[in-house]
Amino acid sequence: MNNVEKVLVVLAHPDLESSRINRSLADAVGDREGVEVHDLEAAYPDHVIDVPAEQVRLADVDRIVLQYPTFWYSMPGLLKQWLDDVMVRGWAYGTGQPGALKGKGFQVVTSTGGSEEDYQPGGFQGWDYADVLIPLKATARRLGMIWHEPLIVHGVREVTDEQLAEYGQRYRDLLGDRRDESVAA
């Protein structure tokens, strides 16, 4: 029996070619056993999402990773659309039974222009980044999913190539780590 966890990285970047951080991170995990990187812009350049195909894809994995650059304390529009279109009532929730994603892992990997020091109460960005993630944490909880420790690359302009490679290694390690941070009820 194969015990390798199946992970779907849902990658959303509007211009991956000009990306430094997210392209490098995706490359760091793309060849890891059990990991599939699903580039939403490449799959849906017209932004018309094949919902049944996405649901089949999700049903087959153990963990879903949302990977994106932070845009306005949130995610790029195509990823929000993907969430809205795919996580529908009667499939993800409201089935009268556990939703299709119950028990699967949920993880966020993101990058920010703002530095770690900026992301704190009273800091330049005003909030801790953990607070920015509350809507996604609530989503995971609502879907009965298991919240995994996020990977956040802060202060992208100051990140050296060496540090970026270290983040890539950390990302690989996190995908092999089944411990959950357990979502508070």
Ligand X SMILES: Cc1cc2nc3c(=O)[nH]c(=O)nc-3n(C[C@H](O)[C@H](O)[C@H](O)COP(=O)(O)O)c2cc1C
Per CB under 6 A, residues contacting ligand X are 13, 19-22, 69-73, 111-114, 156
CB of 175 to ligand X, least distance (A): 18
Cβ pair 157, 114 in contact under 8 A: no
CB of 28 to ligand X, least distance (A): 13
Instruction: Burial-class residue 97 by CB neighbours within 10 Å (0-12, 13-18, 19+).
Output: exposed
Cβ proximity to ligand X: between 6 and 20 the closer is 20
- Residues 18, 21, 27: CA angle, nearest 5 degrees: 95
Cβ proximity to ligand X: between 136 and 156 the closer is 156
Cβ proximity to ligand X: between 116 and 180 the closer is 116
**Distance, CA of 46 to CA of 99 (rounded, Å):** 29
CB of 129 to ligand X, least distance (A): 8
CB of 69 to ligand X, least distance (A): 3
Q: Calculate the alpha carbon distances from 90 to 24, 28, 79, 118 in Å.
A: 37, 35, 21, 41
CB of 71 to ligand X, least distance (A): 4
Cβ proximity to ligand X: between 31 and 158 the closer is 158
Cβ proximity to ligand X: between 144 and 155 the closer is 155
Q: Calculate the alpha carbon distances from 112 to 5, 132, 136 in Å.
A: 28, 11, 16
Q: Is the dihedral of CA 18, 24, 25, 27 positive or negative?
A: positive
**For residue 157, what are its two tokens?**
């302009």
